[in-house]
Structure 1
Amino acid sequence: MSTSGQPQFRYTQTPSKVIHLRNLPWECGEEELVELCQPFGKVINTKCNVGANKNQAFVEFAELSQAISMVSYYASSSEPAQIRGKTVYIQYSNRHEIVHNKSPGDVPGNVLLVTMEGVEAGDVSIDVIHLVFSAFGFVHKIATFEKAAGFQALIQFSDVETASAARAQLDGRSIPRYLLPEHVKSCNLRITYSAHTDLNIKFQSHRSRDYTNPYLPVNPTAIEGINQPALGPDGKKTEPESNVLLASIENMQYAVTVDALHTVFSAFGPVQKIAIFEKNGGTQALIQYPDITTAAVAKEALEGHCIYDGGYCKLHLSYSRHTDLNIKVLFELLSKY
């Protein structure tokens, strides 16, 4: 034991190439550490000013035998290790190598954090972002948001290599001018790595997309003009007929999927597209047929129909104002069926 009451060595510790030094002088530098340690072997890494008081450090030798030599020497020496006349306590470290922690943006990952400089949220659409980044590989998910740093996006690739390639090519570059609105002069990309590995996308919308899951519900704010039919002078609904039906589903005891809706509605003709979304706390869907006649037959037959026995998942149908669901976020299902 030393006169200060601190144990100078831990004899029971497992030897390591990394030496832990304590009780160092204030702001002890790497040169001083190397000067103390190099008589025993080659120093390949250091970590200075560790601990609350900045008076600890780690030194890594090239060989384990060199670290053992240093610890053994000072364990048996009558002269303690000293730097600037101050006694330094030496022991093996629990770590076997020194790893310098990088900032999160420097650690490669499969998700990129992209800051778009010189633009506001509405200036760059998620489709433009997808177009630019999918040039380097399949983009799984995108989430956009606004922070103090500006308009930003998280872009998830399948692996680190693809994300790294996109970052290497696009960091510091601008989105091509022809993809931007006329009032935007430029949009510079500043790209770092995100700590995320898998983005949690709950809705397809103009702010977020999951390109791996076409069955994800569509956020109603992403579908323009979905409204209940207007009322006529007699107080009854005036419904211009359409080839697209709007289905409201009540008594949702079971999940309603695209597959389930396709099974029900395709009994009356070919279903071209389906979108499921949440609105006002309930589940709704848009079902597109190739013509008004087919939609009208399906509407007449299925109004009040329950998808499941027992009165579960009851359908209430009206005509949508849409005639084609190619708006912002809806997914083609023709390739599936």
Structure 2
Amino acid sequence: MSSAHLSTVDGADRLCVSERAQCVPSRVLHLRRLPADVSEEEVLDLALPFGRVSKLITLTAKNQAFLEMSSEEAAVTMVNYYTSTAPTVRNQPVFIQFSTHRELKTDNLTNQRSQAALHATAVHSGNMASGGEGRGLAPGQTPVLRIIVENLFYPVTLEVLQQIFSKFGSVLKIITFTRNNQFQALLQFSDVVHAQHAKASLDGQNIYNGCCTLRIDFSKLSALNVKYNNDKSRDFTRADLPTGELEPAAFGVALPPYGAAAFPPTFHQHAGLSMAAIPGSLVSPPRVSLQVAPPSVHSVLLVSNLNPESVSPHCLFILFGVYGDVQRVKILFNKKENALVQMSDGTQAQLAMSHLNGQRLHGNVIRVTLSKHPVVQLPRGGAGQEEQALTQDFSGSALHRFKKPGSKNFNNIFPPSATLHLSNIPSSVDEEALKDLFSSTGFTVKAFKFFQKDRKMALMQLASVEEAIEALIALHDHQLDHNQHLRVSFSKSTI
């Protein structure tokens, strides 16, 4: 490749960076800010876990390099991964982006030298780019990973696992199951190298902020035999498989005994668990949508042990609306301590259940479970006025927090806490006015703090979690001036 052509490529790619444009995916990747004396082997070490590298050009004078991956899919996987995990060479951060060029054109000398480096590095690393799959791998490593999800606050579906792990290679099969009160999975990659890289990158990471921690080890199995495609097992290479029964025996695989090798069980569903101590997260980026839900999960919840003197459909709509968009609420006419709450989908129902079951509302500890009813029926035409008032349809409400796809509210779902997050505060409302609003409504304000960089938001700490729940119900959407309404949610922070 001529020096003039290299200069043009470099200029074009720097333009893409300077304008912060979203470069179109390409097999060619541009690496910048490399160490001055970087070797071709060091550059290749960044790329080979994601697939075969067909061409390599290093520009040592400019601390840059260009890689051409064997496929666009491999290049996209590499860029996505290094977006969430900053790449380094000798502890120096490196910047990687798609090149504006679709392929690299090299002269014979450059090509011979780069191909020699490619071959030498591939053999040394044991990567499949050399055709020697399995070389350099520790004994006992297989393409099948055993996954345990600890601190299971949110549902983790087969689709969520596939979305996360496919960033490291082709996922062929997944089996999910529960053992020792823990959600577990077996996941088979197309080769050992991808499994090795996924384990090294994801072990100890959180799927969602502060919870759903991945514990990953190699399985003793070398392959999975999946007989059915359903919510519990999937063979992505066989679309023709029947759905079968959702029973462990139907998976057609002998699960190895874990015994002492199993990770210690820390499965929690109680909403009061502190999550601040759990490091790492996969939530941003790569971002996992909390809206993914298996189609067979019902979206209707049964809420029991309510205080019939205080509860109302609107009250439950506001509270459960913190964890999803509530469509309908029905307080049972003959048993008013019970209610049905219909969420938008099964995942939102699971979220609300995991966070609100066991919380205290109006003096009673409420119980939240999945209902056998698929939907909440509206009263018939002949129903009395009281019965009609006990059932309300909120599907058209303007107060839904999650109606916009990709809403940032999905990133701010936390268990009930004594500290509330207040937002949409107009500049005309000061600290004393907000404290007076809560105290005059019957709540004890322990502490208050505006956000330093955004005075439209603040934290308010009340006397207890129960008080915070009731304050949220009472004051969410409270009108603060002629066109601004207060937004209230639970905070993960304290004052």
Normalising by structure 1, report the TM-score. 0.31
Larger strand fraction of residues: 1
Relative contact order (C-alpha < 8 Å, sep 6+): which is higher? 1
